[in-house]
Structure 1
Amino acid sequence: MLKFLQLTLDLFEAAPPPAAAPVSAPAPAPQPVPAAVPAEPLDAVLAPATFHHPRANRQATLAGTFVAYEFRRRRRRSIGFLVGAEGLTVSAPTWVPLREVDAAVQEKSGWILAKLEAARQRHDRMAAARIEWKDGASFPFLGEPVIVVLDPRRGTGAVLNTDAQALPGVPRLTLHVGLPQDAAPEKIRDVVQAWLMRQARRLFTERLDHFAPLLSVQWRKLALSNAGTRWGTAHSDGTIRLNWRLVHFRLPVIDYVVAHELSHLRVMDHSPRFWDTVATVVPDYAQLRGQLKDEALPAW
């Protein structure tokens, strides 16, 4: 902050000489006026948003936003659009000319940009939730934070302690991991992941057994997956595959995914009849489905 200091000088003289004429201070030399600096274009100050697929082979400018996307030729009936973690993928039949693809991309520009921005925000939230694996690290389990405690006295493996003193703002769950304080981050992560996967198998089996009779279906095998974009799959032979990272979510969200996959044993598509089947056991599935999409999980 600029501070202005006013200095006043008072001169006291006994008797100024009468003949002394007042001496005028010389006029200050005129200062040159600096040339006006041209305003920087707004486009140079605010860089336009861009989205770039790592396998991009085509590009477009949508409402001033540069989008480099992956373009694929597929055996399909129409042009398809998919926005994932990597960006936009456009698929088109072999007989559709590129000018029609370009026109379709422009026509869907509002939807594409909204999906790309949502995917970017989700990626940023996931990056912010990245876990630093050390003593005191925190990760979600069934919707609650769990604190990692490195405790070599516990032997090998990990044990969940729910008896920690519950203080305001302090997680009440601690996972005691049988590793020394100087354990490598990768080792801590592996022990915690193994513990979570054991909890996932136990919990998923319990929820499958709960919902299968309600839906009048029978599941035969549970497999855990680590898929990046799929939470579960169901096969007609009764095999259910569930992503072990679902244990980060609250139990109602897990129940939605379990009921979703079991419902596929009755209806092997996503028709209205399928969603009606899901609603018989999970009436608020739409809200839970939104939580599954919006909530950011820690990156492993």
Structure 2
Amino acid sequence: MARATEPTQLSLFDVAPPADPVPAVPRGDAAPSAPPAAAPPPPPPALRHPQAQREVLLGGHRVGYALRRARRRSIGFVVGPEGLAVSAPRWVGIAEIEAALQSKAAWVLRKLHEQAERQRRQQALRIEWRDGATVPFLGEPVIVVLDARVSGTVLDAGAEALPGIARLVLRVGLPEHATPQQIRDAVHGWLQRQARRIFEERCRHFEARLGVRMTRLALSSAATRWGSASADGSIRLHWRLVHLPLASIDYVVAHELAHLREMNHSPAFWDVVRSVIPDVERVRRALREHPLPPDD
């Protein structure tokens, strides 16, 4: 299919989005009537954007927001990890901006809460780099064991930590007094090598089933994307996908390869994905529950 008018690159989707925009509010338009909304969840403790110049009272909570004047025709809201940011034309007054915010108060508070929860889950993923640390690999916990007798890094089955529950052990050829940075670098190096091996294998598997050809595979460490595809056939996959179960990896791989047939997110695109991942909705929801781990 011709791609002359299609974008050259599309992302999978923002798993830990720096921005969660709400549809812009046109100037002068009254807020549409709607049935009473359910009360928003309790907001996060911090409701102030670090670059906030103004505050507004939304649903009984003071929210500090960053206001940016821009060459645009409507008011736009974005809720990201730092908080609420508003873009508005230069000729729109503060009263009109804050009236628009009031019309979206429940949405803003809900998104602030979701961002706080996402950050809490990210913090829970932080690893203390030491002998005995636990690292996820293909959805399974792996125990890091420092062993100076080992050359390089070796994965093997460890003793049963609990009856009937086998644990994997990653033996790292470092002395017991190795620094956290040394341990982190050794484990990350091993994970990235495994990521390239696994991703290449899964890409070749789905290439054949989808009838497409990948020209290049690159590992990514993007802050907000699990993967992306370009019209020239190149695929980028976040190396930290290797932490997740194979079903999640397969979904991301199939998603990006499907873009080589449909460089969009049209119904035809989702039909292509569904042809190889029949339960795409369930797998996609599960992936959204996995925030990108912090850059530890």
Shorter-chain TM-score tier: 0.7 to 0.9
Deviation, 1:74, is: 4.9
Residue matched to 1:105: 101
* Distance verdict in 2 for CA 1:50–1:133, change over 3 Å: closer
1:224 aligns with 2:219: yes
Deviation, 1:271, is: 2.5
* Distance verdict in 2 for CA 1:168–1:114, change over 3 Å: farther
Q: Helix, strand or coil: the match of 1:52?
A: coil
Residue matched to 1:181: 176
- Percent identity, aligned pairs only? 57
* Distance verdict in 2 for CA 1:271–1:137, change over 3 Å: same
* Distance verdict in 2 for CA 1:238–1:297, change over 3 Å: closer
Residue matched to 2:205: 210
Q: Helix, strand or coil: the match of 1:116?
A: helix
* Distance verdict in 2 for CA 1:74–1:230, change over 3 Å: farther
* Distance verdict in 2 for CA 1:178–1:276, change over 3 Å: same
Higher strand fraction (1 or 2): 2
1:133 to 129, 135, 151: 129
Q: How many residues align?
A: 254
1:154 to 129, 150, 154: 150
Residue matched to 1:143: 139
| Greater CA drift, 66-75 or 91-100 | 91-100
Deviation, 1:95, is: 6.1
Deviation, 1:129, is: 2.8
Residue matched to 1:119: 115
Q: Helix, strand or coil: the match of 1:59?
A: strand
Structure 1 stretches lacking a partner, 5+ long:
1-45
Tell me the amino acid that sits aligned with residue 172 of structure 1.
R
The correspondence of residues 41-56 of structure 1 with structure 2, limited to 5 A, is 49-56=45-52
Give the whole-Å Cα distance in 2 for the aligned partners of 1:114 and 1:261: 30
Give the whole-Å Cα distance in 1 for the aligned partners of 2:114 and 2:270: 25
* Distance verdict in 2 for CA 1:227–1:110, change over 3 Å: same
User: Contact conserved, 2:43 with 2:109, CA < 8 A, in 1?
Assistant: no
1:245 to 237, 240, 244: 240
Residues 217-240 of structure 1 show CA distances to partners (whole Å, capped at 9, x for unaligned) of 211111111112111111111111
Task: Say which structure, 1 or 2, has more relative contact order (CA 8 Å, 6+ apart).
Answer: 2
Tell me the amino acid that sits aligned with residue 235 of structure 2.
I
* Distance verdict in 2 for CA 1:47–1:200, change over 3 Å: closer
| Greater CA drift, 85-94 or 282-291 | 85-94
1:200 aligns with 2:187: no
User: Contact conserved, 1:49 with 1:66, CA < 8 A, in 2?
Assistant: no
Residue matched to 1:9: none
User: Contact conserved, 1:134 with 1:188, CA < 8 A, in 2?
Assistant: yes
Give the whole-Å Cα distance in 2 for the aligned partners of 1:114 and 1:154: 50
Structure 2 stretches lacking a partner, 5+ long:
1-41
Question: If you compute each CA radius of gyration, which structure gives the higher value, 1 or 2?
Answer: 1
Give the whole-Å Cα distance in 2 for the aligned partners of 1:278 and 1:136: 39
Q: Normalising by the residue count of structure 1, what TM-score does the alignment of the two structures yield?
A: 0.76
Give the whole-Å Cα distance in 2 for the aligned partners of 1:97 and 1:256: 46
CA RMSD of aligned residues (A): 2.5
Give the whole-Å Cα distance in 2 for the aligned partners of 1:129 and 1:206: 27
Give the whole-Å Cα distance in 1 for the aligned partners of 2:278 and 2:89: 38
Residues 92-148 of structure 1 show CA distances to partners (whole Å, capped at 9, x for unaligned) of 456655444323322222122112111211211222232111000001111000000
| Greater CA drift, 168-177 or 90-99 | 90-99
Residues 251-273 of structure 1 show CA distances to partners (whole Å, capped at 9, x for unaligned) of 11111111111122222222333
Give the whole-Å Cα distance in 1 for the aligned partners of 2:122 and 2:247: 21
Q: Helix, strand or coil: the match of 1:125?
A: helix
2:257 to 253, 257, 262: 262
Tell me the amino acid that sits aligned with residue 206 of structure 1.
E
Residues 9-46 of structure 1 show CA distances to partners (whole Å, capped at 9, x for unaligned) of xxxxxxxxxxxxxxxxxxxxxxxxxxxxxxxxxxxxx9
1:271 aligns with 2:266: yes
User: Contact conserved, 2:158 with 2:166, CA < 8 A, in 1?
Assistant: no
Tell me the amino acid that sits aligned with residue 106 of structure 1.
Q
Give the whole-Å Cα distance in 2 for the aligned partners of 1:141 and 1:161: 13
Give the whole-Å Cα distance in 2 for the aligned partners of 1:112 and 1:48: 12
| Greater CA drift, 186-195 or 66-75 | 66-75
Deviation, 1:151, is: 0.3
* Distance verdict in 2 for CA 1:165–1:47, change over 3 Å: closer
Q: Normalising by the residue count of structure 2, what TM-score does the alignment of the two structures yield?
A: 0.77
Residue matched to 1:82: 78
Residue matched to 2:285: 290
